A and B are shown apart, each in its own frame.
Chain A
Amino acid sequence: GENVEQHPSTLSVQEGDSAVIKCTYSDSASNYFPWYKQELGKGPQLIIDIRSNVGEKKDQRIAVTLNKTAKHFSLHITETQPEDSAVYFCAASYGSSNTGKLIFGQGTTLQVKP
């Protein structure tokens, strides 16, 4: 069945350093790849997403890259700040087009040390 693998499960960086989280997916028909940030006690919040017709997308300190051939995508956070500390989830769409169904990775706990 469809699967998304996310690595690493935990990541600790110094403030100002960069953080990279990687995901691989199994369904070659996946065409939408969102990243969510979840703070303690809250629901996941979309921070950036990318569609399959784009290789890279940036939004200030956050960027996502997609390699459809290799079926992997990555989240890059530059100049990390303590408020970036949270759990990050990647996801990939599955099923027929526009179903909205997502399969999620296992999550990465990011700790940014001041």
Chain B
Amino acid sequence: DAEITQSPRHKITETGRQVTLACHQTWNHNNMFWYRQDLGHGLRLIHYSYGVQDTNKGEVSDGYSVSRSNTEDLPLTLESAASSQTSVYFCASKSGSGTDTQYFGPGTRLTVL
């Protein structure tokens, strides 16, 4: 069955370190999204991509970057982790046309000490 996976599921890191969270989908979806989830804020969009080599900033993009070298993967990189980036991160994907439904991965819980 097609799916969307994230790794690692849990990560503890130190302030200032670079961290990369992986997202992989097997639906062949063109559109992929990264969100962070914090109490009281729901889910907020960090970055998104509409296809290979396309990346765009969302509403809370400072301190994060993404790259899209193939259809299946959209890794999220924290260039220099800060305690304010402690959160649960979700990746989602959506077909480029014909449907609005976004499918979410299981999430990565990141703790920055």
Name A residues whose Cβ lies closer than 8 Å to a Cβ of B. Answer: 1, 4, 6, 32, 34, 36, 41-46, 49, 51, 89, 91, 93, 98, 100-107
Interface centre among A4, A51, A89, A98 (most CB of B within 10 A): A98
A44 to B94, CA, bound (A): 14
Tally inter-chain residue pairs, CB-CB below 8 A.
59
A4 to B50, CA, bound (A): 24
A-B contact pairs, 26 of them (CB 8 A): A1-B59, A4-B42, A6-B42, A32-B100, A34-B100, A34-B101, A36-B104, A41-B106, A41-B107, A42-B107, A43-B106, A44-B43, A46-B102, A89-B42, A91-B43, A93-B100, A98-B97, A98-B100, A100-B31, A100-B33, A100-B94, A101-B58, A102-B45, A103-B59, A106-B40, A106-B41
CB-CB under 8 A from A100, the residues of chain B are 31, 33, 48, 50, 94, 100, 102
Interface assignment of B68: CB less than 8 Å from any CB of chain A: no
A36 to B101, CA, bound (A): 10
Name B residues whose Cβ lies closer than 8 Å to a Cβ of A. Answer: 31, 33, 35, 40-45, 48, 50, 58-59, 90, 92, 94, 97, 100-107
**Given A6-B42, A98-B97, list of 18 further CB < 8 A pairs?**
A1-B59, A4-B42, A34-B100, A41-B106, A43-B92, A43-B106, A44-B43, A46-B103, A91-B43, A93-B100, A98-B100, A100-B48, A100-B94, A101-B33, A102-B43, A103-B59, A106-B40, A106-B42
